Amino acid sequence: MPSTTSTNANVPLEVLSLGLVDYLSTWQSMQDFTAQRHAHTADQVWLCEHPPVFTQGVAGREEHLLLPGDIPVVRTNRGGQVTYHGPGQVVAYTLIDLKRAGFFVKELVFRIEEAVIKTLLHFGLTGHRVAGAAGVYLRLEDPAGHERLPQRPQQASAYGTATAPDFAGLGKVAALGIKVSRHCSYHGVALNVAMDLSPYQRINPCGHAGLQTVDLSTMGVNVSLNEVAHVLGQKLTLQLAPRT
């Protein structure tokens, strides 16, 4: 049964725990939900786990699939490059009416990242953003330290030029990709909890060669998937509330 948290008087946000579910059928369900929703349809967050699968975003390049082997590859309609889903990872799909919520996709991405950062903080870790690279990262040598990253996003100067993301000393703990259709979002974020990380060696994670991927377990936090999913659901409910 979904747990329901009100985001305004008329349209609640529903958080659904789906358990271990097939990726393809879940993706189809997200598309169906989005195509059929109307002005009074409640926004939803789907929390789930997937069997092993690589997913390739719309901008995905084949050279980032190094050696997929026996793990299936699904080419999806979300943004971003290639990532991996597997047991021990919490996936949160955010099905939000952006027009009703009052924010655009860039702010949606920020809010989802903020929910992940607050979830990590709940478990004693400090998540970070990196300029030019969506997702959430941890310091490998000091995952609980609060010192700000020099490579964090900062306001660019009027004459500034974009540079390649700098992942020095970092490991990626959460990957994010969004699709917007009819002003409504789907897909979402994947947070690594306690999983077999070796499949990431078969790809360039999120299109970045050499990017290290970590989970809460490798960073010294031993916690159940259900605990992390529960906290992440709470934080997403708060962060995705419509503008008032």
User: What separation in angstroms does the CA of 109 have from each of 126, 129, 237?
Assistant: 18, 11, 14
Distance CA 70, CA 198 (A): 13
Residue 138 is inside which H or E element, if any? Answer: strand 133-139
Q: Is 48 a catalytic residue?
A: no
* Active-site entry in 206, 229, 231, 232: 206
Among residues 96, 88, 80, the alpha carbon closest in space to that of 46 is found at: 96
Distance CA 93, CA 47 (A): 7
User: What separation in angstroms does the CA of 205 have from each of 27, 61, 142, 202?
Assistant: 20, 12, 22, 9
Catalytic center residues: 206
